[in-house]
Chain A
Amino acid sequence: MKRSDLQAMARRELDRQQATRCRLLCCASTPCLSSGAATVQQALEQAVTDNKLDAEVVVVSTGCMGPCSRGPMVTVQLAGQEDTYYENVTPESARQIVAEHVMANQPVADKIMPSDLPFFAKQHKIVLANSGVIDPERLEDYVARDGYAALAHALREMTPEEVCAEISKSGLRGRGGAGYPTGLKWDLVRKAPGEKKYVIANGDEGDPGAYMDRTLMESDPHRLLEGMAIAGYAVGAEQGFLYVRGEYPIAAKRLEKAIRTAERRGLLGSRVLESSFSFRIDIRIGAGAFVCGEETALMASIMGRRGQPTPRPPYPAQSGLWECPTLINNVETFGNIVPIIAHGADWFASVGTAKSKGSKIFALAGKVNTTGLIEVPMGITLREVIDDIGGGVADGFSFKAAQTGGPSGGCIPAEHLDTPMDYESLRALGAIMGSGGLIVMDNASCMPDVAKFFMEFCTDESCGKCVPCRVGTVQMHRILERITNGSAAPADLQILQDLCTMVQETSLCGLGQSAPNPVLSTLRFYREEYEAHIQRHECPAGVCKMTEAPTLELVEALPRRIRELGTIPMSLA
């Protein structure tokens, strides 16, 4: 396929789409599927056939539309009208939509989700631009929205140096959480000596409650492949690996299909778009280890070894897969490449803050009225995200904390709600941007209990290679267990804090180094809750059962009791 063939394909598809009077978009990503989107789609298709509308109405299964808690979602696109979003669609209401909205132009009022809600208005979709609009399993849908044009442009009109320079200029930073400048990383790999180089997309998303990467892989797989191919061209790699978490079968299936389609059309494989550049992508499925999201462990896993991290340096850019220079970026980072090449670095850099450019996808979860997947400009305040996009905390409850970054992140209290969401501001609060998990908690949550939850997660997921993480997390978890069941001693708090700093500073990889963050950040902002558990033997939020008796520190307590009583207590005499 040549560039002109690509343009012809786009024209054909656009003509086809314009020929239909109505498109019914039905979300087919995991959250909506789990609430019955498959039967909704069947009902839509059946209703279209029953009413003999096949010629003018098409039903399209798309990727995620965003408000996942209100799924299954259906969008009605009627020619010459604004899109209409329907929430909580059932097979009955699906038939109603076809009968009333499509045929009689009478929208079904009680199921409509108003499109002027702040949930939509405050978002800024760069990476998710196609998500919920195109059929992820059809290459034509993607090409009709200028798909693979950026790759064609880069291959024909840009040198690898220029591609790297463009990415650097855009100010894009790694979306996996640490925020390393992407352009700089690309340039390092490009300049690294070596015949063979590799590109890896990290799709081993493991934070509890986070599903940004899954959605991107499920909703717009070709964007990811195109981003990786551009990266391959920029750094001089001919082989890419897509590491997909084992728990994401739909994502893996759609990517597999996308790769095969793209290879058949000459958009991947040898001589991409009839240029001299070749690029193959293979999928590797993870086996359920959180630590494999760490880049060195991920590479070990790709090479078929035990998924354990190795000390850096050497960094993957110098010596990665089979000791070759390797570029490894998060899936969401690759999702940003196409828009940067297509619209230019300046356009991209106009969104966001001085140091954090572009947008970030968050999986908004927890106690807000609308949860789901959102893409917001960097620098938006937490308050806007929770009150406007999320629709605020449910009536009768008050906001207590927002947890970002999952088991590596921290909790942000109410007094910091006006903090802009960017890499530096979040780090200053002891939280991190992370991959984009954002869990809102109300006053019914107990912070030591939250810390215990994340520590238990780290205990399970520690690979066992280095001592501080392997045993330190277990000991921290046991202390948190004692605090939340009522048997902690006053000295435990200091032991816990000392362990936190030690594990942070001495662990081998990011998992151990960040495992104490949830404890440290809750200790920083909610210390009085820990003290209430230990000293007053009560849980202010009423979550912990406090079933165990407190452990008295006899050495400290006895002399004090003797002083207080003026004599040795009878029971001890």
Chain B
Amino acid sequence: MAVITMTINDELVSGVEGQSLLSLIREQGIELPTLCHLEGLEARGGCRLCLVEMQSTQRLLPACTTTAQEGMSIQTHSERLVRYRRMILELLFAERNHVCAVCVMNGRCELQDEAAKIGMDHVRYDYLVPELPMDATHDKFAIDHNRCILCTRCVSVCDSVEGAHTWDVMGRGVNSRVITDLNQPWGSSRSCTSCGKCVQVCPTGALANKGSTVAEMVKRHDFLQWILDGREKKQWVMHNGGSEGRR
């Protein structure tokens, strides 16, 4: 494998040819938020939080879907990028009813974390307060569309890792919604294997175990790497001892 050299935030770094910009940036210990991308799932480029600035053209490119190339020079935290990230987070908070105080993921939510990290203390846009339903027909899990940020990690993991493709998206624009089967109640879904992978990868409180109440839900992402390593390398090893949840 060929080695490439490029510049991140004015520092020379080296990586492997074909590596995504996001993984190279994170290898340097630089924190870059991603709400749609999750290591192990196919890169999507939808949340636009991992946008980085090309020094040569000033163009913004999503780090998750861009391949690192020899001689590239990028900035990850320019004033413009930080301003845009905050605006995007504000837009997400305004889109649906993200009321942390009554959310099962309060304190462990990725959306909440990113907002706190960037110092988002208020939302300057109108709250759209849509009236969205919940679906608690499944035995073990429930979905609350009010918390969904349409990252479609659930769709991706269900299709590519579990192979069930229970989840998909219907509608478009701000009226999009994730659905099970052909918009049937989750509990009546015949394709759902009740594996719970969708629940574990969901960044917010949209998908949760039934029975968890405010701030009780703990999600684990490490299972994803465990399955992928097992499949590809035939090594079934849990990297962090298997006991820890996220954080």
Contacts and interface: CB of A to CB of B under 8 A. Distances in A.
Contacts of B47: 466-467
Interface in A449-496: 459-468, 470-475, 478, 495
B132 to A, nearest CB: 14
A507 B175 CA distance: 18
Given A460-B173, A475-B126, A465 B46 contact: yes
Contacts of A319: none
A536 interface: no
Contacts, number: 87
Contacts of A468: 48, 88, 91
Contacts of B84: 502, 505-506
Given A478-B126, A498-B87, A508 B150 contact: no
A35 interface: no
B56 interface: no
Nearest to A465: B46
Contact of A475 (B48, B125, B168): B125
Contacts of A289: 172
B9 interface: no
Interface string B57-96: 0001010011000000000000000011001100110110
Interface string B26-60: 00000000000000000011111001000000001
Given A463-B173, A464-B169, A470-B176, A475 B88 contact: no
B51 A506 contact: yes
Contacts of A460: 173
B195 interface: no
A471 B126 contact: no
Nearest to A509: B45
Contacts of B126: 475, 478
B12 interface: no
A464 B150 contact: yes
A471 B92 contact: yes
Of B44, B83, B126, B173, the most chain A CB neighbours within 10 A belong to B173
Nearest to A310: B45
Interface in A425-452: none
A547 B217 CA distance: 47
A156 interface: no
A493 to B, nearest CB: 13
Interface residues of B, number: 32
B174 interface: yes
A466 B35 CA distance: 11
A306 B125 CA distance: 30
Of B62, B125, B168, B169, the most chain A CB neighbours within 10 A belong to B125
Contacts of B91: 467-468, 471-472, 475
A152 to B, nearest CB: 43
B119 interface: no
A483 to B, nearest CB: 13
A466 B173 contact: no
Tell me the dominant secondary structure on chain A's binding face.
helix
Contacts of B172: 289, 291, 461-464
A499 interface: yes
A313 B68 CA distance: 12
A311 interface: yes
A470 B45 contact: no
A470 B65 contact: no
B178 to A, nearest CB: 11
Given A310-B45, A464-B169, A468-B48, A502 B87 contact: yes
Contacts of A291: 172
A300 B208 CA distance: 31
A468 B46 CA distance: 9
Interface string A500-535: 001001111000000000000000000000000000
Given A311-B62, A475-B126, A467 B88 contact: yes
Contacts of A310: 45
Given A289-B172, A306-B169, A508-B46, A311 B88 contact: no
A395 B128 CA distance: 45
B169 A467 contact: no
B94 A471 contact: yes
B66 to A, nearest CB: 8
Nearest to A459: B173
Contacts of A502: 83-84, 87-88
A30 B87 CA distance: 45
Interface in B161-181: 168-169, 171-176
A461 B173 CA distance: 7
A209 B49 CA distance: 35
Nearest to A306: B169
A502 B48 CA distance: 11
Nearest to A498: B87
B94 A467 contact: no
Interface in A271-307: 289, 291, 306
A462 B174 contact: yes
Contacts of A472: 91
Contacts of B65: 311
Contact of A505 (B45, B60, B169): B60
Nearest to B81: A506
Contacts of B83: 502
Contacts of B95: 470-471, 474
B124 interface: yes
Given A470-B150, A471-B92, A499-B87, A464 B173 contact: yes
A506 B48 contact: yes
Nearest to A309: B45
Contacts of A461: 172-173
A467 B48 contact: yes
Nearest to B155: A306
B84 to A, nearest CB: 5
A508 B87 contact: no
Contacts of B150: 464, 470
Contacts of A506: 48, 51, 60, 84, 88
A472 B47 CA distance: 12
A463 B176 CA distance: 8
Contacts of A470: 95, 150, 173-174, 176
A461 B62 CA distance: 23
Contact of A459 (B46, B60, B174, B176): B174
Contacts of A507: 48
Contacts of B125: 475, 495
B174 A467 contact: no
A480 to B, nearest CB: 12
A499 B124 CA distance: 11
A351 B65 CA distance: 41
7 contacts: A464-B174, A467-B46, A468-B88, A468-B91, A475-B94, A506-B84, A508-B62
Closest 6 CB pairs of A and B: A464-B176, A462-B173, A471-B91, A311-B45, A311-B65, A471-B95
Given A311-B65, A459-B173, 5 more contacts: A463-B172, A466-B47, A475-B126, A506-B60, A508-B62
Interface of B: 44-48, 51, 60, 62, 65-66, 83-84, 87-88, 91-92, 94-95, 124-126, 128, 149-150, 168-169, 171-176
